[in-house]
Amino acid sequence: MSWDVIVIGGGPSGSTLAARLAQAGRRVVVFEKERFPRFHIGESLLPCSMPLFRELGVLPKLEDGRFLRKYAAEFVTADGSQKQRYAFAEGLVPGTPSAFEVDRAEFDQVLLEHAEAAGARVEQESTVVRFECDLERGVDVVVRAADGSEATHHAEMLVDASGQSALLPSRLGLREMEPLLRNFAVFSHFDGAARASGEREGDISVVLVNEGWGWVIPLRGDRTSVGLVGPAKGLRGVKPDEAFLDERMRATPYLAERFAGARRVAPVRTISDWSYKSRALAGDRWLLVGDAGAFIDPVFSTGVYIGMTGAFDAARALDQALRTRRFQRSEFLPYERRMRALVGTYTEFVKGFYTPEFAELLLHPSDALGLRAAVTSLLAGHGTKSFGIGIRVALFHLLVRANRRLPLVPRLPERRAAHET
């Protein structure tokens, strides 16, 4: 049981990496602790992921009608009185004008099966219990199967794509929480919620509640995902359970109207303290990909895109390392720098979102100098490496800071009051 690469985790990052390596003729195995399909949050994808799906060869399986098309993101106040729609086709950088709203259980299974069809070995209900990475001897991983039996696998490289469990960073003491994003999320699925029709049916709605935000994601058929995110300190000892979600939805006029008469069809789930990063994304004979390396608050739906981008990049770096037989950390530093830059771009944007002055400008973007179009491109994931986008986004941040003191756009007084407390 010897491999070129062992991948821990079969989510979008792990399955994409495995597929790319298998397509390059590498011997790769994926150990996934759960049995697919399984529930996962993060249903809204970005248009910039579409070229990755195409290159991976999985796009035809996603375009067969099983997922709802998404053409825009909408930001709306809690009472529904102010709305701003960012249509992806109106961005500054040309790119795919749509993405998908997906049931992650089904979407993730499609990607994992695609990796297996490409030639990767996939072992589900298989938990990595121990690992050892030695620059001279290689990688040894002990895996426990569903029946309790254990087996040792050897490889040249180990990749952690275990998602938010972040196996390697947790075991190696590399995980750091993001102090400015100590948030919680509570969420569920409903049938019968109101939605738009036509091209706007798949719009994600980001609802500006006073201390955070909420999401409304229409899925295929009559299913709608809804969730609320906010600072953990705002709970003030209250448990974010079923009663909490129901009460907060009733107290938010926009949500109360959209979900009037809707029926909850899934458990209420909660995640807390979920924004973090690893102090290193690579070491001697190991790499981190996707959420295992960093997880950003999902307000801009970047998770799958960053994970898949990282998987493509990591696959190239691993293929090169296998050719040259060089597996030390220094060989993977360019990969680490590129991923830190991408994550950093969106982390700055996310941190700004929690300030009222940032949200106010999102609701009232300026068309001057292409600022609105630049923000639209960033929301679509296009142009993160574009100098023109970078300059305009930097200008947007300058306007945000100015808006803190000067009333450049209409205020959100309740959000400002909540922020001050």
8 A C-beta contact, residue 160 and residue 289: yes
Alpha-carbon distances of 389 from 172, 346, 347, 377, 381, rounded to whole Å:
37, 13, 16, 8, 11
8 A C-beta contact, residue 76 and residue 85: no
Per the domain annotation, does 49 fall within a domain?
A: yes
Whether residues 302 and 219 fall in one domain? no
Per the domain annotation, does 171 fall within a domain?
A: yes
Cα within 13 Å of Cα(346), Cβ side: 25
Whether residues 240 and 311 fall in one domain? no
pLDDT tens by residue, 347-364: 988 988 999 999 999 999
pLDDT tens by residue, 300-340: 999 999 999 999 999 999 999 999 999 999 999 999 999 99
Task: Say what percent of the chain tops pLDDT 70.
Answer: 100
Containing domain of residue 357, as a range? 350-420
Name, in order, each residue with C-beta under 8 angstroms of 104's C-beta and a sequence gap of 6 or more. Answer: 39, 40, 41, 42, 43
**pTM, full prediction:** 0.94
Per the domain annotation, does 86 fall within a domain?
A: no
The residue among 318, 343, 368 that closes a domain is 343
> What CATH number does the domain containing 291 carry?
3.50.50.60
What is the rounded distance in angstroms from the CA atom of residue 88 to the CA atom of residue 30? Answer: 34
Omega cis (within 30) before 37: yes
Residue whose structure tokens are 């029926």: 263
8 A C-beta contact, residue 318 and residue 21: yes
Give me the mean pLDDT over the 49-61 stretch: 96
What is the rounded distance in angstroms from the CA atom of residue 153 to the CA atom of residue 4? Answer: 11
Q: Which pLDDT value is given to residue 260?
A: 97
Residue 42: Cβ within 10 Å count: 21
> How far apart are the two ends of the chain, measured CA to CA in Å?
57
Nearest to 222 by CA among 181, 172, 262: 262
8 A C-beta contact, residue 126 and residue 253: no
pLDDT tens by residue, 369-378: 899 999 999 9
Nearest to 133 by CA among 343, 332, 338: 332
Q: Which pLDDT value is given to residue 273?
A: 64
Query: With 90 as the cut, is the pLDDT of residue 112 above it?
Result: yes
What is the rounded distance in angstroms from the CA atom of residue 368 to the CA atom of residue 362? Answer: 14
Nearest to 217 by CA among 199, 207, 202: 202
Q: Map residue 301 onto helix, strand or coil.
A: coil
> What CATH number does the domain containing 196 carry?
3.30.9.100
Give me the mean pLDDT over the 251-267 stretch: 97
| 397 membership: H or E segment, kind and range | helix 387-403
- Token output for 238: 């209250």
8 A C-beta contact, residue 318 and residue 301: no
Q: Which pLDDT value is given to residue 7?
A: 98
The residue among 314, 343, 372 that closes a domain is 343
| 126 membership: H or E segment, kind and range | none
Whether residues 193 and 284 fall in one domain? no
Backbone CA torsion sign across 162, 163, 167, 168: positive
Residue 60: Cβ within 10 Å count: 9
Query: With 80 as the cut, is the pLDDT of residue 420 above it?
Result: no
Burial of 66 (0-12, 13-18, 19+ CB in 10 A): middle
pLDDT tens by residue, 262-289: 999 999 999 886 789 999 999 999 999 9
What does DSSP assign to residue 201? G
Average pLDDT, the chain: 94
Whether residues 194 and 322 fall in one domain? no
What is the rounded distance in angstroms from the CA atom of residue 214 to the CA atom of residue 298? Answer: 11
Whether residues 62 and 139 fall in one domain? yes
Per the domain annotation, does 289 fall within a domain?
A: yes
What is the rounded distance in angstroms from the CA atom of residue 332 to the CA atom of residue 320? Answer: 10
Per the domain annotation, does 113 fall within a domain?
A: yes
> What is the number of structural domains in the chain?
3
Name, in order, each residue with C-beta under 8 angstroms of 11's C-beta and a sequence gap of 6 or more. Answer: 40, 108, 161, 163, 290, 291, 307
